[in-house]
Amino acid sequence: MSLVTDRSEAGIAQVEAGHCLSSSRLTLPSAQDVQVWQWDLDVHAHDFDRYWATLSMQERERADRFRFERHRRRFVAGRGELRRILGRYLGLRPEEVALGYGSDGKPFCTRQPASLPDGSSICFNLSHSGNVAALAIANGFEVGIDVEQVRPLDDSVPLEVFSARERAAFRALRESERQAVFFESWTRKEACLKALGTGFILPPTHFEFDLALHGDTTPHRVGGAAEEAAHWRVRSLPCCPACVGAVAARRADWSIVNMH
Distance, CA of 56 to CA of 76 (rounded, Å) = 11
* Of residues 218, 206, 222, 155, the one with CA closest to residue 182: 155
Nearer to ligand COA, 124 or 254 (CB): 124
Pairing of strands 33-40, 255-258: parallel
CB of 172 to ligand COA, least distance (A): 28
Amino acid residing at 252: A
Q: How wide is the angle at C-alpha 115 spanned by C-alphas 114 and 120, nearest 5°? A: 90
Distance, CA of 18 to CA of 85 (rounded, Å) = 9
CB of 187 to ligand COA, least distance (A): 9
Nearer to ligand COA, 44 or 65 (CB): 65
CB of 11 to ligand COA, least distance (A): 18
Nearer to ligand COA, 13 or 149 (CB): 149
H/E stretch holding 243 reads strand 243-249
CB of 24 to ligand COA, least distance (A): 24
Q: What are the C-alpha distances in Å from 14 to residues 11, 159, 238?
A: 5, 39, 18
Nearer to ligand COA, 56 or 218 (CB): 56
Nearer to ligand COA, 16 or 104 (CB): 104
CB of 202 to ligand COA, least distance (A): 9
CB of 178 to ligand COA, least distance (A): 21
For the range 10-17, what are the long-range contacts, defined as Cβ-Cβ under 8 Å and sequence gap of 24 or more?
11/39, 11/40, 11/42, 11/43, 12/40, 12/43, 12/44, 12/47, 14/39, 14/40, 14/260, 15/39, 15/40, 15/43, 15/47, 15/81, 16/47
Nearer to ligand COA, 38 or 127 (CB): 127
Per CB under 6 A, residues contacting ligand COA are 75, 78-79, 104-107, 125-128, 146, 190, 194, 197, 199-201
Nearer to ligand COA, 78 or 87 (CB): 78
CB of 171 to ligand COA, least distance (A): 25
Q: Which residue is nearest to ligand COA (CB)?
A: 199
Distance, CA of 14 to CA of 20 (rounded, Å) = 10
